[in-house]
Chains A and B, each alone.
Chain A
Amino acid sequence: MPREDSPSTLRLLDVDDSTGDDTPTTVVAGESFPFLMNPEAVEVLPLNFDVSLAVGGLPKFECSLSPNTREARLLNDSPWVRGLGSLEMRVQTEGWKFPTPPIDLPPRPVLDKKPAEELIPTDEVVPDLPDPVPVPPKKPPVRSKPAGDTVLFKDRLLYLLQPPIDHLIGCKSVGVPFEPFPYQLEGIAFLMPRHSALLADEMGLGKTAQVILAIRLLIQAGMVRKVLIVCPKPLVYNWVRELKLWASDLPNEIFAGDTELRRATWFVSNCPVKITNYELLTRDAEFLSDDRASFDLVVLDEAQRIKNHDSRTAQIVRSIKRSRSWAMSGTPIENRPEDLINIFGFVDPGRVPRDTPSKRIPQLTADCILRRTKDDVQSDMPPKFLRDLPLELTPPQREAYDLAEKEGVIRLNDLGETISVQHVFQLVMRLKQICNFDPVTGSSVKMEQLLADMEEVAANGRKAIVFSQWVEPLEVLAKALAPYGPMQFHGKIPSPQRPAIIDQFKSDPTKHVILMSYGTGSVGLNLQFTNYVFLFDRWWNPAIEDQAINRAHRVGQKHPVTVTRFLAENTIEGRIADVLNAKRKIFNDLLEQNGPPPSLGLSEDEIFGLFDIKARPKKNGDSEAKAA
């Protein structure tokens, strides 16, 4: 049925695109279709327009339509043009200022001005030289790179933008007595960007020179202003000498005198480089809590001195306020892997937790350690000949030795469960002393051999070092070696006198031999003008022996070095040597990432194993021989 109210109305659904409204719009047929209203225009047909469209039955969309619209520029908008965009170009910049170098010396005068330094018109032909000099291949420059843990972009930039080390060394500002070796330049490039570093080069490769040059470059670049060097007491003057040699423009000051004087050095002095020793540092512990006692860089020489984590020295060293921590040691692992962990307690606290498994240590420390051996870097260095010289004890020595050992073993066995490693140790020391000299007659096969060897050394105009564990044998030897101008350098010689002794030994051609104790002379000294080293008796640890030997076999040595290790046959010395030799070969394993040795010194079992004794102490935990 047609609807009465609107018989010709179409009800359309229109979508208003401006509002989104779906309100129905009514269109009247007569308005939209005018011809329908003019009866003359068309023939009237009996059509019934009563049409009704029903929407209800049609399928519906699941959701209501919501069309989107956008404005469109119509073609009749005038003018019809596209924008050109900005005609102006813009640039943004970002900049960084770096620490100002504290000094700026005028450049060296140019002595050899080339005649080629002339203006040449570009159209003029320059003839080739008739016989050009061959140019040696150019070495790649040695550059410092930011360390892995340098995270700030500005800090990374600072290192990336530094001039090559090899360009700086030798310029006016960084004059050096002689050109460092390439591996030393690499060492400097390693140290400079690092806030935590362990320079663990083998003894004799010039660690001190590398550290001094790195300090010098950092100070000149304005990156470091206050440096503290901590070293063993006997090496203080050695540092002063080396500083004078490699950084004569750097003032340095030694901590010395009474408490008030030292207080002034800690708090008042503006000297850029200060040097103290471990013993004095311990006495000055109270000053370290003061904020004025803070440093941009602290260098620990012979850093194995802090291998015992809980020692007072280690605790005090770790308490020094500092931005950068460098350690130096040719033997960072003297006994066990924990030595290295404890050194890292200073180098980078927290990097290597104390309970870190040994196998993980190389992974954690690799970025901070630089270790080179002579084999790695110095293929052209003169060779080192090791001569193990087995000697038969003199009859009085043999008699005294056999008796002492026999009685000693009996006494040890009598001790039963009360025996301790110290008891065994006392016997070992007693026997070693007999191997040096017979206590009654003073007879000594080693001294006889040494006198014979020294004759040859002196005849060739060479110099020798003799090492012993004790001072007393050295004093006896000094008398026997009188024809060879012996000099003594051991614990009984006051520290201030020691530099003069070294200087005289070096310069006086009549002084052919210096007698040193391992404790005083095995570290830090540069004796590369000597070509013979005699180990009169053996130390407990191969690392210490190596240090002693490397006083002579080091950078700057021009001739082969002969090392003679005296060994009394069929004695305790031979048995100790066997144990130590077996261990020596694994000494570098940890640093070479092949897994650490459990210990480098003699363990308790190994000390007991030196004798045929059945007695053993009651076990109560680890008891490695401390002296070893």
Chain B
Amino acid sequence: MTELKLPSSIHLGFLTVFPEGAGFLGGYLVTNSWGRPVEFRLSTAVQPNKVQQILYGHTLTEYLCAELIGKTLVEKTATPVQLLVTDNLSVLPIRTRLDIPTILVRSEDGVSESGLDVPMIRLDHQRSSLPLWWREDHRADDELIRAILDRVDPALELTEPFTRIREAMTEARKMGATSRAA
């Protein structure tokens, strides 16, 4: 994914995974460059048992967020995206598993308080009210990320779709959709 040739219409993937009871729940919204919904996918809640917690240890959250839930959601979605946006630091390592530039939208405090020891690149951009971050070891994505962000319509604010995803997941919970995801 190093070529700068982008398709005529780009799609963005907004991926979030958050704690749900004792487990984790994921939601993934694909939009066009104006933020209009194209596809939406959600996961069932994943609740690791004691043995899994012991086995995975401190890598459990990253495994659940990036590999198990995040990667599955992206791979099962039909519409390919040019940029993944997440609001969860633990999802960011998905970049090592997928060939899609991935950025985190998060306040500086949110990143520094996470105690993450991986060097990060920060970008303040007009399309986001919060700073954008990605890992230093993916510096090669810089140019592509900036090119894609320039294609995003000014009407779209990158933090806003996560509000929609959460509302949709609340609705899904009310209607029992998360328990019958298949």
Give me the interface of A with B, judged by CB distance under 8 Å: 84-85, 87, 89-98, 100-101, 104, 106-108, 110, 113-114, 116-122, 141, 153, 156-158, 160-164, 167-168, 170-174, 220-221
Tell me if A171 and B155 are in contact (CB < 8 A).
yes
Are A168 and B155 neighbours in the complex by a CB distance under 8 Å? Answer: yes
10 A–B contacts from the bound complex (CB under 8 Å): A91-B44, A93-B73, A104-B8, A104-B33, A106-B8, A160-B171, A161-B164, A161-B165, A167-B157, A173-B34
From A106, A163, A221, give the contact of B160 (CB < 8 A). A163
- Determine whether B38 belongs to the interface, using a CB cutoff of 8 Å to chain A: yes
A89–B52 touching, CB < 8 Å: yes
Nearest to A112 among chain B residues (CB) is: B126
**B residues within 8 A CB of A107?**
33-34, 150-154
Other-chain residue from B119, B122, B171, B182 in contact with A92 (beta carbon distance below 8 A): B182
Known: A93-B72, A97-B39. A120 touches B124 (CB 8 A): yes
State whether A100 and B33 are in contact (beta carbons under 8 Å apart), knowing that A92-B182, A141-B160 are contacts in the complex: no
B51, A221: Cβ atoms under 8 Å? no
How many residue pairs, one in A and one in B, have C-beta atoms under 8 Å apart?
163
The residue from B38, B48, B156 contacting A89, defined by CB atoms under 8 A apart: B48
Residues on A with beta carbons closer than 8 Å to the beta carbon of B182 = 92-94
Is there contact, CB below 8 Å, between B154 and A110? yes
Q: Flag if A167 contacts B40 (CB, 8 Å).
A: no
Chain A contacts for B76, CB-based, 8 A? 93, 95
Inter-chain CA distance A113–B126, complex, in Å, is: 8
Q: Name A96's closest neighbour in chain B (CB-CB).
A: B40
Determine whether the beta carbon of A108 is less than 8 Å from that of B154. yes
Q: How would residues 115 to 128 of chain B score, 1 for a CB under 8 Å from any chain A CB and 0 otherwise?
A: 00001111111100
Q: Is the CB of A98 within 8 A of B40?
A: yes
Q: Report the bound CA distance from A156 to B175 in whole Å.
A: 10
- Give chain A nearest CB distance to B77 CB in angstroms: 6
Determine how close the nearest CB of chain B comes to the CB of A102; give it in whole angstroms. 11
Residues of chain B at the chain A interface (Cβ within 8 Å): 8-9, 26, 29, 31-44, 46, 48-49, 51-52, 55, 63-64, 68-69, 72-73, 76-79, 111, 119-126, 142, 150-157, 160-161, 164-165, 167-168, 171-172, 175, 177, 180-182
Contact of B29 among A90, A92, A161 (CB under 8 A): A161
Which residues from A are CB-within-8-Å of B41? 93-96
CA distance A101 to B34 in the complex (A): 11
Top 7 A-B pairs, shortest CB-CB distance: A171-B155, A95-B41, A94-B181, A161-B37, A104-B9, A163-B35, A107-B153
Closest-CB distance, B58 to chain A (whole angstroms): 16
- CB nearest neighbor in A for B178: A94
Chain B CB within 10 Å, residue with most, of A87, A92, A93, A221: A93
Cα distance A91–B42 in the bound complex, in angstroms = 10
A158 to B40, CA, bound (A): 9
CB distance from A153 to the nearest CB of B (A): 5
